[in-house]
Structure formats: structure tokens, C-alpha cells
Amino acid sequence: MRAIVDIELVLVNESLKEKALSLIEAFWLCHNNEVQNADETMEDYNSWTASGHLFYLIKLVDKYIGFAHLASRGAQIDWLEDLFILPEYQRRGFGSQAVTMLETQVKQYSESLYIEVAARNLPAIKLYRKLGYDCLNTITIRKDFDKDKYNVKSQETIAGMDFVIKDNC
């Protein structure tokens, strides 16, 4: 379903800190089934609001429903490090709106916006592909020493080489 109401990207400041912390906790719980302690959440917050980062809360009318975290890696190129929409607001077009709004900003000083996404996060990959992200830039691969620790979700071929995507890649 397409978003009927527009969202707003609100740059995090001290008055939004508690809301930001609660959304960071929800992010880790939803994406990794991981409960962070207060110190870990604060570490993420401090990192994501440091110099070279832009941390926005996504506001829908009077509720904060997610966040977007941009980071500069030099050469006037930004990376969308994290995009999170609370599960009850997903699949309504708010993620697409947020990415489009961020693209408008980044286009002012860069030719590209890079996005990292976990290989197992197929809904996000489909969203980014739908929004025109079609240039494969960097691939992170890993070697599991305990090959049976995680379940294989799918197998993919890139440049004629086979790779597995696991539950916790």
C-alpha cells in the first residue's frame, strides 16, 4: 500500500535523544533479534550522531516511526548505513519516501548514494532495487568456521561463483 500521508525527516537533536534511543533498540530487536543494553544503544547513538554522520528520525504526523542514518566516507559520497521503519508501518511506502528525500539532499553534492544491506534482508533489497539501485559496488563475504551454525536461506550466483545466504549473515 502506498503512503497517503507524507513523512518528515527530522535531524536528531538532544530533545529527540530518548525517542532515538528507543528506535535504535527496536532496530536491533527487529533485524537481529538482539536486545541491546543501554550502553550499547548509547554507543550507537553517539556514533550515528558524530561528525560525518546525519541521523534523522522519520516522523509521521505526530509519531516517530523510524530512522535513517547517513554517513560520509569521504570524497563527498554518502552511504545510507541504516534505514528502519517500525514493523507496523512497513509496506506503506514510508521507506521509499525516506530514501527519495535523502536522495534529494545527497544529489546536491554527490553523484551517487551507496546503500549497504544485509544479504538476508530481501525486503530491503527489493525496495532498493525498485528505487533504482542497480549498480553492485561492494560485496562483503565471510567464512564460517562452523558451517552448520546458521541455516542456509538461499544460494546466489555472482560472476559465475556460488554463494550462500544464511539466516545470520
Starting at the edge strand found earlier in the chain, the sheet holding 8-11 runs 8-11, 53-60, 63-72, 78-85, 113-115
**pLDDT at res. 73:** 76
Residue 17: pLDDT band (50, 70, 90) is very high
Residues 54-88: tens digit of each pLDDT? 999 999 999 999 999 999 877 667 889 999 999 99
Tell me the whole-structure pTM to 2 decimals: 0.83
Extended beta strands in 5-138, E state: 8-11, 53-60, 63-72, 78-85, 113-115
**How big, in percent rounded to 5, are the helix, strand and coil portions of the chain?**
35, 25, 40
List the domains of the chain with CATH numbers.
8-138 (3.40.630.30), 141-169 (no CATH)
